[in-house]
Structure 1
Amino acid sequence: MGKKKNIGKGEWELLAKLATNESGSEDREETKSWLKKSQEIRSELETTQKMLKKIDDFYTLKNFDSHGAWRNVQSKIYPEKAKTVRLKKIRKEAIRKFYKYAAVVLVALLLGSIGYYIGFVYQNPVQENQIVMAENQVLNEYVLPDGSVVTLNWNSQLEFPKNFNDSIREVTIRGEAFFDVKPNAKKPFVINAGNAQVKVLGTSFNVSAYPETETVEVVVKTGKVRVIRKKPDMQTAINEVILVPGEKGTLFNQNNLLEKSVNTNPNFVAWKTLDLIFDEVPLNEVILNLEKVYHAEIQLMEPELNNLVYTGHFDQKPINFVLDVIRLTFNLNLSEENEQFVLSDRK
């Protein structure tokens, strides 16, 4: 568009304001009177306004969101399809959020489980049991983690943890042992002995539970002991007994019968003390006690020797000395063959 000769610079500025709607109220009044006077100015204004409209249309089209408009048209033509698309997007977004939160929860649970396991292992460590055995020896004494003292007889085995837990002191005996339990009212001392279980707080007692024998025997020296059958019998009234000093509890393995009686054997711990007392005891019973205490084989050759009655006291004496005294008492012969002692009549 060429510059019109009859239109001055100031008039062009006024014309531009009018075309772009930027003119004030005074300019508009001036322009109205100006347009009435000149056909050339009216034509130029009209041309300028058309050109500006084309420019606006061009930029409007350039910035137009055709894809959005097309989706809008489709939603009106196919409302159900558009709804499905929106639902799919919502569902995808919900699934994405679900997996996001599920991952967070899973990690939290995993960390919590690991923490719980570590705490559990720390608070409840796996106990490695100690096993001590007495083979071919007379006296074996052990101090347990709580300070209790256990003396094992020959051919016996004791199993106990390196450290007792906070609520109980539990051990297992196979054979015979004398227990001197350190008192602790908060932590009972429990002994598993074959089919029987012994519970104490603090006392001293003897337990004999050899697997090959017919009975489990508990004799109390001091304190109080509870003996319990591991296999309770609802038809039998006695499933446990309380023992005090001088009493004995006997569990018969074959019929699972539990009995309480007065201990009449003063030598129930002679295997530990080597202190033997006999008061008018048949010789065959004396021999049984000696075999148990000294782990020796002793034979009475003639049956009538079994009925001999013996009274005597041996304190810390060797087996040869004890048998020699018995030989002299009854005027018997004493011989030793193949690690076996034999007492026989001199007739």
Structure 2
Amino acid sequence: MRNSIIKDLLNRLMYSKITPTDFQLLKENVSGSSKEELDQEIKVLWDEFKTTPMNQNIKETVLSDIHRQMTVTPKRSIFDWTRIAAVILLPLLISFASYYYFHNKYTSVPQEFIVMAENGQKTKVLLPDGTEVWLNSESQLTYSSDFNRNNRKVKLEGEAFFDVNKSTEQRFVIEASSVNVVVYGTAFNVTAYPDEETVDVSLVRGKVGIEDRTDNRLLAEISPNQLISISKKDMRWSIRDCDAQIESLWTQNKLKFEDAPATEVFRKLERWYGMNVHIQNLNKEVRYGFTLKSESLREILNEINKITPIDYKINGEEVIIRYK
């Protein structure tokens, strides 16, 4: 019964005859269907996507956005891609179609798009103005459907590298915790995880301004190969020289530590591998320097053991490390 409802409502969407009420019903039925039900229907539905006379402009825009919006680097696992197509692709198609179909027909209220990189994953996003964004593990980027028309504003939770398409008419603004990062066209890295005490911005090229979000007051500007660290608590900030390429090396699936404290190293390893790391007997004076490429967590822990003796235990997603 549910499959026939989905099929009927989807056909209405393709023929541009669906109402907002019908569309809400379609979303509820898709999200409430089991993986097995969607597995059974997906082949038929996909054939209908290719043959149904949906408005060509909507169809091309929807499919283009699906391809350009998400390029995900997943954990090292074996996936059932048919099941993923059934569970993820259909809701994605419906979500994108909803904006292009209803935006002009029923409402002019901007909608919100959210792109997420799950724990242990990285995601690449192409924004409507041509700006490229790489999201690191446990990060989220939010932007409005009127992006690049009324504004170029996004909200970041976590870490991201931005290569902003230049515009002299409209500045690009990143809301990151208590600050705004303001640019017109440049490349830089922003770290603004909710559980960290500071917002850090490092600049590869161009120029970046940092504003207090409460009153849009300019706090500072940085130049290439500088890093600014802003306290979330009292808005105090400091600038130091850095190698900005190293700060954004994670976008190339590498991590490089140079005289980094153990707490920073294990925090980044935790996100990198999608694990929960628990440390016992930590000496906060310990610092590390190494480059991580394609090594497994076990290989990295064995290397750390050569520098500072440790015992460790890996149980699923839980890792216990004890300094000797």
* TM-score (structure 1 length as normaliser): 0.54
Higher percent of residues as helix: 1
Q: Which residue of 2 aligns with 1:246?
A: 225
Distance 1:265 1:222 in 2: 9
Quote how far apart the aligned CAs of 1:212 are: 4.1
Identity of aligned residues (%): 29
Quote how far apart the aligned CAs of 1:163 are: 4.5
Q: Which residue of 1 aligns with 2:317?
A: 339
The alpha-carbon distance between structure 1 residues 283 and 155, as it changes in their structure 2 partners (threshold 3 A), is closer
The alpha-carbon distance between structure 1 residues 239 and 182, as it changes in their structure 2 partners (threshold 3 A), is closer
SS of the residue corresponding to residue 142 of structure 1 reads strand
Return structure 1 stretches of 4+ with deviation > 6 angstroms: none
Say if 2:201 is the partner of 1:218.
yes
Say if 2:133 is the partner of 1:150.
yes
Query: Between Structure 1 and Structure 2, how many residues are aligned?
Result: 220
Distance 1:132 1:170 in 2: 14
Distance 2:309 2:195 in 1: 36
**Is the 8 Å Cα contact of residues 271 and 292 (structure 1) preserved in structure 2?**
no
Distance 1:298 1:208 in 2: 20
- 2:113 pairs, out of 110, 117, 130, with 130
The alpha-carbon distance between structure 1 residues 162 and 252, as it changes in their structure 2 partners (threshold 3 A), is same
Greater RCO (Cα-Cα under 8 Å, separation 6 or more): 2
Quote how far apart the aligned CAs of 1:308 are: 4.1
Distance 2:319 2:200 in 1: 28
Computing the radius of gyration from Cα coordinates, the structure with the larger value is: 1
Quote how far apart the aligned CAs of 1:166 are: 4.5
Distance 1:265 1:148 in 2: 19
The one-letter code sitting in structure 2 at the alignment partner of 1:318 is S
Say if 2:251 is the partner of 1:302.
no
The one-letter code sitting in structure 1 at the alignment partner of 2:167 is N
**Is the 8 Å Cα contact of residues 203 and 244 (structure 2) preserved in structure 1?**
no
Quote how far apart the aligned CAs of 1:205 are: 1.2
Q: Which residue of 1 aligns with 2:179?
A: 196
Partner deviation per Cα, 1:59-95 (whole Å, 9 max, x = no partner): xxxxxxxxxxxxxxxxxxxxxxxxxxxxxxxxxxxxx
**Is the 8 Å Cα contact of residues 284 and 307 (structure 1) preserved in structure 2?**
no
**Is the 8 Å Cα contact of residues 274 and 293 (structure 1) preserved in structure 2?**
no
Q: Which residue of 2 aligns with 1:269?
A: 248
- Long gaps (5+) in structure 1: 1-120
The alpha-carbon distance between structure 1 residues 143 and 252, as it changes in their structure 2 partners (threshold 3 A), is same
Q: Which residue of 1 aligns with 2:34?
A: none
Quote how far apart the aligned CAs of 1:226 are: 0.9
Say if 2:156 is the partner of 1:178.
no
Quote how far apart the aligned CAs of 1:171 are: 1.3
Quote how far apart the aligned CAs of 1:232 are: 3.8
SS of the residue corresponding to residue 113 of structure 2 reads strand
Distance 1:279 1:212 in 2: 23
The alpha-carbon distance between structure 1 residues 246 and 158, as it changes in their structure 2 partners (threshold 3 A), is same
Quote how far apart the aligned CAs of 1:187 are: 2.4
**Is the 8 Å Cα contact of residues 203 and 227 (structure 2) preserved in structure 1?**
yes
SS of the residue corresponding to residue 220 of structure 1 reads strand
Partner deviation per Cα, 1:246-304 (whole Å, 9 max, x = no partner): 22233322223344333478753354333222334444443233224333333443344
The alpha-carbon distance between structure 1 residues 222 and 134, as it changes in their structure 2 partners (threshold 3 A), is same
- Long gaps (5+) in structure 2: 1-103
The alpha-carbon distance between structure 1 residues 147 and 195, as it changes in their structure 2 partners (threshold 3 A), is same
The alpha-carbon distance between structure 1 residues 265 and 307, as it changes in their structure 2 partners (threshold 3 A), is farther
Say if 2:306 is the partner of 1:323.
no
